[in-house]
Structure 1
């Protein structure tokens, strides 16, 4: 009898163990169904990679930072899932160590130009105790999905401090850095000579830049698979430019009589209170400035020349008194620069001036544009701006927009709501935003070193999620796609819906490519103004929409619908229920969407 009881006990125990193992197995397969995790980031504090992008088959190095609470979970499982959109492409199981950091690796798949979300779950028995995620971009070239950042501070500091600045930007997957105002003078960017460069020099604002810092930043950019972009104006020179070999014969004038050379005004306290303007189509000016740029890049190994302009300058005249179409010379200048320097080229046609010419004829890595409310004031105009710029190019190219938030707000923190809605407007329409740089700060002004505003700690964390999302879902957000050409293709039951980003509505749009269709839902409910810049930092948080019924008219035979959002669980994909139907407008699917905070993406395979 005693032996029988022991046998029964053993059988029960074995059954419990088997049941637990089966439950763990089921969990391992079904983590996408886990939507609520208590005490999120209480143990798993941070997760990031060592580089901003990886070549196919590269080894990806991950770190997970742990809190003091990790001591209660030593040797517990962390289950890691590698996902491409809604598909699991790899799994790994690791254990919580006694130290406060986990390191592990993953061999990237062979597929080029592919984004992944990497999800980590802390498991205690069969329950989820914590969750964290990051993204991986597997791309052999940065220009397919440029995530552009910036540096403005080239002061003297330790090499370790310079490395930390680059490593912190790497956590946002920034894969290209603009070195803003790193140079000595616009017409003589290299201080000193190639053989004997100066150790330090004053920049245009009389800030001191250090050559060792510039070299450090370039080195650490390259170590982290970031491109380094040398910033300079296409056609500017300091006062006294003749001393450097610049000739007035190359200048542009405001009148045919040549009584006043065109210039861009600057503060009187700067190294030059005027930037004098020269004709970019003039071959002698081109030879001169290309030589100067080549000298600078012999000493500082930049990958790119980021060429700036100043927008529409009005009526201009050359040294012969003949009228000059300034933008007509842009494409020739840019193509000649690429040949002369053997470097990649990025160009800023300010507010679109010259974009039709340069996008169509210039050999640019991607399409860049600084936008201003005089032409592009609203969320909907951002979409139109992206479509217009990309439409000028004979080849599909990535788009990066420079757009400065909370422009008139001179002290304090950025408005989180405006920042997230503006990024959603750009990312959902296939563009990225140059905004994050330096010591994880954000642009609020066209003079990049301006630091009137700073990001709150919350916004820094939220931007991590947004950049993880942009990277993980690059194939549906940034690959070539087109707007679904159907009036009112998307409607949200019981909520005002708009396809033109009207105030107090859900901005709903649908896009498609060869593989996927997707619906973007951007929340403008309770948002009174649709001006993206939110000059005075007054944008209110949108009213959260819940239990939505989203109707999408499509002839596609939809099998599954997935929801992903940078506002929910670090962007993890979740399968949603839907039903099919038809009415007088045609076939549709009706999708049950649990909530909308700022931006949701619904996607499905065709």
Structure 2
């Protein structure tokens, strides 16, 4: 097995920042390395260097300032002496704001042991550019603890020093830090001391969550909303957080205030976000749309990206696709991040979920805490990844970053413009710019109605399969990008014209691949 590794030193870069690619290959001390930088299919620069005695070298390049833009880096190592050549790939992007293309990770371990460097360095190969600090808070109604060492409401030992250290180290690696808070939850003690601030059911009973939290009225202008806004502002100013990740529990969807008047929760959620952005305009905010609720209110709000949490009542891959497409359509151009919990011992499910989401132009929160998998709605129950699955996910994120200019292009190609024929059981999503047509292919085979939360086998691989693409603009050249392969380089494929169609062959497709087509003439996208 190759010990060659390459990754950037930041989750994303701002315009004007130099890019540093660290190449590590302990078995090749004294050898040489060459890194080729490219944008889609255009070669931009080639750098070479000597591998040091520690088996590593850092290559620095100044990318163009245009944003948002993703780049590929293809690495080749040779020597010393006559040892065989080795190859790998990585990617990076330049963004004006991380929320232009969020790649959300998570941290949950905030005890006094200092693991910040290890934790965050493990996330660089996955290109994580923001972190949700899940359950970092002292209490739901008092986010910042009164002393350095404290316990969370479930008794986990935490440290403010650790939180501060993670925020600082994340910033040094081009990763934003988002403080977790629940928009309407307080300790039962706090709720009982502030009964006029609480939420009630139709019978006038205070609403509680799992016996240890009380629901509070988040309507803007009311006392709880003002209290929580002050707590959020304190977390940002005192600890350096870049923003707030607001949560809710999906239920109840009907609630009443202390006078018996019904509360419009979707409007309250949207209003709270408006108040937050008015008070903290440079800070990031998002609110979890649990089971895609309340989609319309959140999509129309000023939140910076749309975050949707899917549960097993959206059980099939087809329903995941339909739900996320609805979210994208409603989000008015905002990026969409999906939380969906798949255990690490279901590797085919993990890969297929990622393929469906990335192909549809969404990203997924899945990697955190020393490269572990988000597998449960209670984030501290993260799970270890096998080497094979970790490698596969790294490749997916390399491809997503490298070709992000097309994958996350805001306009999909109208179905009337192009027709893709020839691959049974393969879902296709099209993105079109003035120069490019990107056909993202997901191999569902007979798994389209399979449940993502039930273990299932890998889809049957497809090889050398004929494809025909028809449309109102012809295709001059085409490349295949195998997201499941060892390298992210585009491989040119032969294409010919057949009666208004472009005919070509897909070399191989396991879970996910991209057919990159250059249009014969430029036309408005």
Class of the TM-score when normalised by the shorter of the 2 chains: over 0.9
Q: Bigger shift: 82-91 or 209-218?
A: 82-91
Equivalent residue number for residue 352 of structure 1: 292
Please list, as runs of the form range in 1=range in 2, the aligned pairs for 1:464-475 lying within 5 A after superposition: 464-475=394-405
Runs of 4+ displaced beyond 6 Å: 124-128
SS at match of 1:252: coil
Compute the displacement of 1:330 (Å): 1.3
Structure 1 unaligned spans of 5+: 1-40, 193-197, 267-272, 407-412, 498-504
Distance 1:279 1:79, change over 3 A: closer
Q: Which has the larger radius of gyration?
A: 1
Partner of 1:261: 206
1:478 to 408, 427, 431: 408
Question: Separation in 1 of the partners of 2:291 and 2:223?
Answer: 28
1:297 corresponding residue in structure 2? 236
Which residue matches 2:514? 601
2 CA distance for matches of 1:392 and 1:326? 19
- Aligned 8 A contact 1:263 1:276 in 2: yes
| Alignment deviations for residues 75-98 of structure 1 (CA, whole Å, 9 cap, x no partner) | 5x4332111111111112334444
Q: 1:126 to 1:91 in 2, by over 3 A?
A: farther
Looking at structure 1, the residues matched to 462 and 453 of structure 2 have their Cα atoms a distance apart, in angstroms, of 24
CA contact (8 A) 1:55 1:139 kept: yes
1:551 Cα deviation after fit? 1.2
SS in 2 for 1:559: strand
1:444 aligns with 2:361: no
Residue 367 of structure 1 and its aligned partner are, at CA, apart by: 1.0
State which of 81, 86, 90 in structure 1 corresponds to 2:45. 90
| Contact 2:474 2:502 survives alignment (8 Å) | no
Deviation at 1:216?
0.4
Q: Partner of 1:512 in structure 2?
A: 432
* Candidates 415, 432, 437, aligned match of 2:346: 415
Confirm whether residue 210 of structure 1 aligns to residue 166 of structure 2.
Answer: no
1:385 to 317, 323, 337: 323
- The answer to whether 1:52 aligns with 2:6 is no
CA distance 1:207–1:373, change in 2 (3 Å): same
Cα displacement (A) at 1:111: 1.8
The alignment partner of 2:188 has SS state of: coil
SS at match of 2:72: strand
Specify the SS of the correspondent of 1:348. Answer: strand
Residues 409 and 431, structure 2, Cα contact 8 Å, conserved in 1:
no
- Match status 1:167 vs 2:121: yes
Q: Find the aligned partners of 1:88 and 1:132 in 2 and give their Cα distance.
A: 17
* Aligned equivalent of 2:523: none
Identify if the C-alpha distance between structure 1 residues 98 and 214 changes in structure 2 by more than 3 Å, giving closer, same or farther.
closer
Deviations along 1:362-405, whole A, 9 cap, x unmatched?
Answer: 2111111111232x2222222222221232234x1111001111
2-side partners of 1:321 and 1:450: how far apart? 39
**What runs of 5+ residues in structure 2 fail to find an aligned partner?**
520-525
Cα pair distance change 1:199/1:83, threshold 3 Å: same
Q: Which residue of 107, 112, 116 corresponds with 2:67?
A: 112
Q: What is the rounded CA distance, in whole Å, between the counterparts of 1:120 and 1:61 in structure 2?
A: 13
1:233-291 per-residue CA deviation (whole Å, 9 max, x = no partner) reads 00111011068xx6211211112x52x1112115xxxxxx2333334345222111112
**Preserved CA contact (<8 Å) 1:490 1:510:** no
- Measured after TM superposition, the shift of residue 231 of structure 1 is 0.4
Which of 233, 241, 247 is the equivalent residue of 2:194? 247
Deviations 1:90-146 (A, max 9, x none): 112334444411222111122221101100123579997210111111112101100
Are the equivalent residues in 1 in contact too, given 2:298–2:306 (CA < 8 A)?
no
Is the CA contact 1:53–1:225 (under 8 Å) kept in the aligned structure 2?
A: yes
**2:340 pairs with 1:403:** yes
CA distance in 2, matches of 1:604, 1:547: 17
Residue 190 of structure 1 is matched in structure 2 by 144
Cα distance in structure 1, aligned partners of 2:432 and 2:403:
14
CA distance in 1, matches of 2:253, 2:22: 53
Q: Which residue of 2 aligns with 1:146?
A: 102
The within-5 A match list for 1:3-152 is 42=2, 45-68=4-27, 70=28, 74-75=30-31, 77-123=32-78, 129-152=85-108
Q: Check whether the contact 1:489–1:510 (CA below 8 A) recurs between aligned residues.
A: no
Inter-CA distance 282–321: structure 2 relative to 1 (3 Å threshold): farther
C-alpha contact 2:133 2:179 (8 A) present in aligned 1: yes
Residues 1:590 and 2:503 are matched in the alignment: yes
Q: For the aligned residues, what is the CA RMSD?
A: 2.2
Change (3 A) 1:526 1:392: closer
Q: 1:317 to 1:167 in 2, by over 3 A?
A: same
Aligned residue pairs total: 517
In structure 2, relative to structure 1, the CA distance for the partners of 1:237 and 1:484 (3 Å cut) is same
The answer on 1:554 being equivalent to 2:485 is no
